[in-house]
Amino acid sequence: MNLEQLFIENKEQSIEGRYLTLDAIEPLLRRLNTDNQLTVIGKSVLGEPIYKYQIGSGKIKIFLWSQMHGNESTTTKALFDFLNVLNNGSVFAEKLLNGFTFCCIPMLNPDGSRLYTRENANKVDLNRDSQDLTQPESKVLRETFESFKPDYCYNLHDQRTIFGVADTGKPATLSFLAPSYNDAREVNECRLKAINLIAAMNEVLQQYIPGQIGRFDDSFNINCIGDTFQYFGVPTILFEAGHFQKDYQREETRKYVFMALVSSFSVLSENDIVSNRIDDYLNIPQNNIVFYDFIYKNININYDGIEKITNFASQYKEELIEGKICFNAYIVEIGELKGCFGHFEYDAKGAHFEARYGKAPILNQKTDFYLDNDVKFVNGLLNN
């Protein structure tokens, strides 16, 4: 199967970028609602509808949910790309629809999505509410899980640009986790199914983004939804969509999430999962916090008349301004930065730093500065 071509043919062109609200996906859901597949299953804190889209008649039941965190939209885009596959009338689509029943909640947290926050409108992280179920969105997710009785759960998220693959200097474009079901992080039959499926997806993705797949930390937290569902005995897979080189809108990453989804269902439909791939799973390097968006090296700075050579790093803050996500770079670290990487790196080779506030970088200041008075940086980037 040509996954690249499949993505190109089925990419949902009407949605892109990082800011994805209910306004953008409701028309898509209505368009896809060709046979009463769409249901409103609850309301958010602020009264926004929470939709379920269920399609297929197969015996393998797949439960997928996205934007539990409102500012994590990459997997939502990829999910709609996949739903387009299921609705394209192809032989492959027919095979999937006959083999699986897909139950999707494409936007669990519409309030957080509109506000572009991780939390819901009550400032609660829904991924820490799986036991107390204090929030309406958490209750909707649990009720759907209990009524649908899935065979597999797909917990779809984004991760920050700070994550790299171990110490390789490559970004973690996608990371996976088969969550633990107990404090000892043991592997039972349920967790092994998730592990085997992740190993299969990784094998496919390495052909496209070699060395850019990470494994998320598996510390057990029963308050997290993935750990809870694994504890309940349903194989659960955490997807974390991360950074691809220069892809801050996550349109490239979206493609690899799509590929992961399609390849996982292809493997399941062929019953082509090796019985024990724990070693393959553990050989996926762990995520490591090693990246900044910008690193500037060998900068000559002046503190009260004393010059020295140092490095500093900046990070984007994603700020919602007048309905658009603005990436604004702020200085976050000054010093050796040993073992760290930048998605953008610049070697100043001893050039002198100067900004409107002085001759040395200051934490939390915007990354606007000059080097030797003639090389200009605006919002972190070289301004030619």
Summary count for the chain: helices (H), strands (E): 10, 18
CATH of domain 291-382: 2.30.40.10
CB 213 within 8 A of CB 175: yes
* Domain range summary for the chain, segments of one domain joined by +: 3-289, 291-382
Neighbours of 14 (CB within 10 A): 11
Q: How high is the mean pLDDT of the chain?
A: 97
Express each pLDDT in 65-115 by its tens digit: 999 999 999 999 999 999 999 999 999 999 999 999 999 999 999 999 999
In the numeric block, the tokens 């192809």 are attached to 90
Which of the residue ranges 302-306, 321-325, 356-360 would you say has the lowest mean pLDDT? 302-306
Which pLDDT score is estimated for 274?
67
pTM of the complete model:
0.97
Amino acid identity, residue 9?
E
| Mean pLDDT for the stretch of residues 197-216 | 98
Per-residue confidence at 272, pLDDT binned at 50, 70, 90?
Answer: low
> Strand, helix or coil at 150?
coil
Asked whether the predicted pLDDT for residue 340 surpasses 90, the reply is yes
Per-residue confidence at 4, pLDDT binned at 50, 70, 90?
Answer: very high
Which residues neighbour 2 within 8 Å (Cβ) at sequence distance 6 or greater? none
DSSP string, 306-352: EEEEEEEEEEEEEEEETTEEEEEEEEEEEE--TT-EEEEEEE-TTPB
- Angle, in degrees to the nearest 10, between helices 3-10 and 251-269: 120
Domain 3-289 architecture: 3-Layer(aba) Sandwich (3.40)
| Mean pLDDT for the stretch of residues 203-229 | 97
